[in-house]
Structure 1
Amino acid sequence: MRSQAVLVDFSDAPEGVWRGDELGEAGAATCPSGHPGLDAELPGGGWPLGALTEILQPAAESPLWPLLLPALAQAAAVRGQPVALIGPPHEPFGPALAAGGLPMESLLWVRADAAPARLWACEQALRCAEVAAVLAWLPQARLGELRRLQLAAARHGALLFVCRPDAAAPSSSPARLRLRLQPQPDGQLDVHLLKRRGPPLARPMPMPGRGARLSGLLEATRPGRPAAPASPILPAGEGGATVVRLDLRRALRQDPRHALDRASVAA
């Protein structure tokens, strides 16, 4: 018996039926991302609460904080509870996070190199009602482990972001949202929406890859820009000591892993 394709017309579908070519509802509460353009493309207008959001990166050190910091800061402030960082690639840069609204006293930093230890810490944090959000770097997480985290996140409605490498894109994932971040040479960050309840996004969304303060600082010190004369920012003290503006370019050339360079991950 030969099978025949059936064309179904949903143009007259009753109210309440979701069509695959339309942006669906989140199905649960959401937290605004802090980026209006992105919220317009996310079901429910923000990051899902009590569900897994998976973020794919070309490298663990790729820019991430400008995208997530507004929501993490809001979650910590509204709930009055800490944000857990599980296995970040660098030490959290407190001043930059505090400038974005997330003070150090609102952070739980879990240092763990082994994959089982990171997974265990992430699951325990999600089971704790006193944790507002979890941001974890789990490059080796498997499908079953991600499903366990999804269930754990639903228990108390916490924000959950799991960072994984770009190579995981072809594999299946239980995440409600799945994004791929692609840093650009000009400092922008292209956000690809790989999975959402709705039609695929044809083009990536350009987002700032650095915080506004760091972008202004790097712009002021970029090669080719006329250098402002070094002037004292404090009056001369005893012995003629003065404090002058530091040469950021020279500091970065001498030590590419300078603290201000690491701040680009957080700013």
Structure 2
Amino acid sequence: MLTSPLTITAEARIAGQLAMRDVWRASELAISRSTTCSTGHAALDAQLPNSGWPRSALIEVLVQQAGIGEIQLLQPTLASLSRTQRIALIQPPYLPHAMACKSWGINERNLLWLRSASSADALWSAEQILKNGSCGAVILWQANVRPEALRRLNLAAQSTDTWLWLMRPLSSSADASPSPLRLALRPALGGVSVDIIKRRGPHCDAPLFVSLADMPAGRHSLETPHEITAQRTPAVAAARNAAPVLV
């Protein structure tokens, strides 16, 4: 049987497209030209497209409760970025502790702590930082985010060379989101249980255990939710003491 030259050309084109790094099959982890940085945890890197946190993308971290180790999970990345770039912390539930950041290798002089009067102001601040590229990374804590706000954050992240993590309650996992990467975190003895609920690739059937026991500054408590790098303070005290702690 003779094959039309047009058929051969079409088949060659399809084969070439499949060979491109920007084309991925749903049964495989996506590999693209987008920039990523290692999470610092080999088991987690192995389950993420391009083996790390994607830059210029909205990354959602959904936590069972604040202070179960979500910042410890990001510590290797934050330590690396803070050497030369600023990191914005917007509406964190705890006051970051400068000495603990030092013990983690995070340059506290490059931390920018923002407290906004409302969720709308916090989202606006995050969008402006992403648009002007003044920080290497942004971590935003929000309990309730409207779908249109998520779309704006995602578009703003795509237009910049900044890493963006959005911390939300675990209950938000049922909500639709434009984020290409969503992780659900639960406390586990000596670390955290990470469930990858959305990624560019096949569904992750079982949660991963990420050990945090060997991280600097010791273990985090499973009985009392807190971060080693943070200390909950009243609003007035936080405002009074912020200057000596953060830049």
- Taking the aligned partners of 2:200 and 2:38, their CA distance within structure 1 comes to 17
- Taking the aligned partners of 1:200 and 1:24, their CA distance within structure 2 comes to 12
Matched, 1:84 2:49: no
Query: Which residue of structure 2 aligns with residue 197 of structure 1?
Result: 200
- Taking the aligned partners of 2:43 and 2:211, their CA distance within structure 1 comes to 12
| Structure 2 counterpart SS, 1:149 | helix
CA 1:168–1:216: 2 relative to 1, 3 Å: closer
Matched, 1:149 2:153: yes
Query: Which residue of structure 2 aligns with residue 172 of structure 1?
Result: 176
Instruction: Give the AA of the match of 2:58.
Output: L
Instruction: Give the AA of the match of 1:151.
Output: L
Matched, 1:54 2:57: no
- Taking the aligned partners of 2:220 and 2:148, their CA distance within structure 1 comes to 44
| Structure 2 counterpart SS, 1:53 | strand
**Residue 38 of structure 2: which of 32, 35, 59 is its match?**
32
Contact 1:85 1:107 in 2 (8 A): yes
Which entry has the higher C-alpha Rg, 1 or 2?
Answer: 1
TM-score normalised by length of structure 1: 0.72
Cα distance per residue 1:46-81 (max 9 Å; x no partner): 10100000010112333211211111222232xx22
- Taking the aligned partners of 1:18 and 1:109, their CA distance within structure 2 comes to 38
Cα distance per residue 1:131-156 (max 9 Å; x no partner): 10000101111111011111111222
| Structure 1 counterpart SS, 2:73 | helix
Contact 2:62 2:173 in 1 (8 A): yes
Q: Which runs of 5+ in 2 are unaligned?
A: 1-13, 232-247
- 1:165 to partner: Cα distance: 0.7
Cα distance per residue 1:217-264 (max 9 Å; x no partner): 98xxxxxxxxxxxxxxxxxxxxxxxxxxxxxxxxx9xxx79xxx6526
**Residue 140 of structure 1: which of 131, 139, 144 is its match?**
144
- 1:96 to partner: Cα distance: 1.8
Contact 2:72 2:215 in 1 (8 A): no
| Structure 1 counterpart SS, 2:218 | helix
**Residue 110 of structure 1: which of 97, 102, 114 is its match?**
114
Instruction: Give the AA of the match of 1:192.
Output: D
CA RMSD of aligned residues (A): 2.4
Alignment of 1:1-267 (within 5 A): 14=15, 15-16=18-19, 18-77=24-83, 80-184=84-188, 186-209=189-212, 212-215=215-218, 262-263=227-228
| Structure 2 counterpart SS, 1:136 | strand
Query: Which residue of structure 2 aligns with residue 10 of structure 1?
Result: none
- 1:187 to partner: Cα distance: 3.3
- How many percent identity over aligned positions? 35
Cα distance per residue 1:182-240 (max 9 Å; x no partner): 102x232000101111111121111124563443798xxxxxxxxxxxxxxxxxxxxxx
- Taking the aligned partners of 1:181 and 1:171, their CA distance within structure 2 comes to 16
Question: How many matched pairs?
Answer: 212
- Taking the aligned partners of 1:112 and 1:194, their CA distance within structure 2 comes to 30
Contact 1:52 1:162 in 2 (8 A): yes
Instruction: Give the AA of the match of 1:188.
Output: G
CA 1:262–1:63: 2 relative to 1, 3 Å: closer
